[in-house]
């Protein structure tokens, strides 16, 4: 009996025969050439036999610029051994997918992070190659790292606030007993110098506790509308004596900039911390440039800067012409007590105070640098709309 055709009104009716579909080479080629992922086929010697057209979008390269070239020539040198290991593993287990993250060079010289799957078809005469299918995850990895950093800084802030409160309470007892002891001592008492030393040390520790509280505190003491540009222009003359004769300070601020809602004392302290940090990065002298600009952060930029919401901001920046910052140091710049300075010259609380100031104001602080090319620190604060 011939099978019945299924209709919408009869969902339980038998299914009609469907003609068998046998996709050919053109079908699969269309799929590969339409994919956003980059598909590459290497021969047994590692030369590129085929690359999908998506290489134009991801790496700004034409397929003919890649075909015939050694595949490893586009790989970051630090990833060469891992990729070679993945290829050898795939060769040893034909048909098995071996996953690996590898950095591949873009036309502009930068590297893109590719989540790759390696599979060997060397034994298949129709392919006779190693197939690597890769997806660009550069932005996703950067966003994940930024989000993790923001969450870590938030956790550190809460912890520092809690520790600082306990520390401050303990110091109050030390200071109180030191004052009582001094009140009962005569000027010639042999123990007086020791008690005064205790008092001085407790005062220094109290300053550290206050800075930790500033980092962790989420509510600024006094927020008023402030013109950041005007504050930088008026403060430049006061900052110059802090820099010495070999460091020049330049203020690059247009008139009529936007206002922010901030604590004036905290803003001044943040600028001082950044300027002193810039000075220390230029032991041989140089230039510190203070700037403030109105800026609009769109959705894409906000995604790149985890913790910064889309909107209008005033961005304060302090740039130096110093030694720059190494990548491993850059990751920890705003952590409390982290410093590259000798213990006697750096507390590791200046930059965390800047970060805390920015976050309390609804903004964000970050830095950009290359070793040997100076550094620029940015503080973005929401602009006050009239």
Read off the pLDDT of residues 320-376 as tens digits, 9 standing for 90 and up. Answer: 999 898 888 888 888 877 777 665 555 567 788 888 888 888 899 999 998 888 999
Higher pLDDT, 385 or 197: 197
The answer to the question of residue 10 being in a domain is: no
Average pLDDT value for the chain? 81
Domain termination residue (choose one: 110, 136, 162): 136
Q: Is the pLDDT of residue 293 over 80?
A: yes
- Would you list the DSSP string of 245-284? TTEEEEEE--TTPPEEEE-HHHHHHHHHHHHHHHHHT-TT
Confidence (pLDDT) at 1: 42
How far apart are the two ends of the chain, measured CA to CA in Å? 81
For residue 320, what are the β-bridge partners? 288, 375
**The two structure tokens encoding residue 48:** 């590129």
Q: Is the pLDDT of residue 137 over 50?
A: yes
Share of the chain above pLDDT 90, in %: 14
Same domain, 207 and 234: no
Question: 3-state DSSP: the chain helix, strand, coil percent, rounded to 5?
Answer: 45, 25, 35
Residue range 91-125, pLDDT digits in tens: 988 888 999 999 998 988 889 899 999 999 888 88
Residue range 153-184, pLDDT digits in tens: 666 666 666 777 777 777 788 888 888 888 88
Cβ atoms of 83 and 91 closer than 8 Å: no
Section 72-95 average pLDDT: 88
**Nearest Cα residue to 74 out of 82, 66, 86:** 66
The answer to the question of residue 195 being in a domain is: yes
Q: Is the pLDDT of residue 5 over 80?
A: no
The whole domain housing 167 covers 142-216
Number of domains in the chain: 3
Which CATH number characterizes residue 172's domain?
A: 1.10.287
Q: Is the pLDDT of residue 3 over 60?
A: no
**The two structure tokens encoding residue 134:** 């890769």
Section 22-31 average pLDDT: 62
The answer to the question of residue 6 being in a domain is: no
Domain termination residue (choose one: 136, 167, 195): 136
Section 264-274 average pLDDT: 85
Confidence (pLDDT) at 317: 94
Alpha carbon of 287 to those of 240, 242, 361: distances in Å?
11, 13, 28
CA distance 365 to 347: 19
For residue 51, what are the β-bridge partners? 40
Same domain, 102 and 157: no
Q: Is the pLDDT of residue 10 over 70?
A: no
Beta-carbon neighbour count of residue 350 at 10 Å? 20
Phi-psi region of 211 (alpha: psi -120 to 50; beta: other; left: phi over 0): alpha
CA distance 216 to 206: 15
> Residue 75 gets which letter from DSSP?
B
pTM for the full model? 0.52
């Amino acid at each position: 009996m011939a099978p019945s055709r299924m209709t919408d009104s009869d969902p339980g009716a038998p299914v009609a025969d469907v003609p068998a579909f046998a996709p050919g080479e053109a079908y699969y080629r269309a799929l590969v050439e339409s994919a956003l992922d980059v598909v590459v086929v290497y021969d047994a010697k590692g030369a590129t036999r085929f690359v999908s057209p998506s290489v134009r979008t991801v790496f700004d390269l034409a397929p003919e610029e890649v075909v015939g070239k050694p595949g490893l020539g586009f790989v970051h040198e630090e990833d060469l051994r891992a990729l070679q290991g993945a290829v050898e593993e795939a060769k040893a287990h034909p048909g098995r997918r071996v996953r690996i993250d590898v950095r591949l060079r873009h036309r502009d010289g930068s590297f893109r992070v590719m989540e790759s799957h390696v599979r060997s078809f060397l034994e298949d005469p129709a392919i006779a190659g190693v197939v690597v299918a890769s997806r660009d995850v550069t932005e996703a990895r950067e966003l994940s790292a930024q989000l993790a950093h923001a969450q870590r800084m938030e956790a550190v802030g809460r912890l520092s606030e809690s520790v600082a409160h306990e520390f401050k309470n303990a110091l109050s007892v030390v200071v109180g007993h030191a004052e009582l002891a001094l009140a009962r001592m005569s000027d010639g008492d042999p123990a007086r110098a020791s008690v005064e030393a205790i008092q001085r040390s407790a005062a220094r520790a109290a300053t550290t506790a206050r800075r930790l509280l500033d980092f962790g505190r989420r509510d600024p003491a006094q927020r008023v509308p402030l013109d950041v540009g005007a504050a930088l222009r008026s403060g430049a003359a006061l900052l110059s004596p802090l820099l010495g004769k070999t460091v020049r300070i330049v203020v690059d601020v247009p008139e009529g900039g936007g206002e922010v809602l901030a604590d004036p004392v905290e803003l001044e302290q943040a600028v001082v911390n950044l300027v002193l940090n810039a000075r220390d990065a230029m032991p041989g002298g140089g230039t510190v440039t203070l700037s403030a600009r109105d800026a609009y952060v769109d959705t894409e930029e906000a995604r790149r800067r985890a913790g910064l919401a889309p909107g209008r901001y005033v961005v304060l920046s302090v740039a130096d012409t110093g030694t720059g910052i190494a990548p491993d140091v850059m990751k920890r710049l705003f952590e409390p007590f982290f410093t590259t300075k000798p213990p006697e010259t750096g507390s590791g609380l200046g930059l965390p105070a800047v970060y805390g100031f920015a976050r309390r104001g609804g903004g964000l602080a970050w830095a950009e640098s290359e070793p040997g090319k100076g550094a620029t620190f940015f503080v973005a604060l929401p602009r006050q709309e009239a």
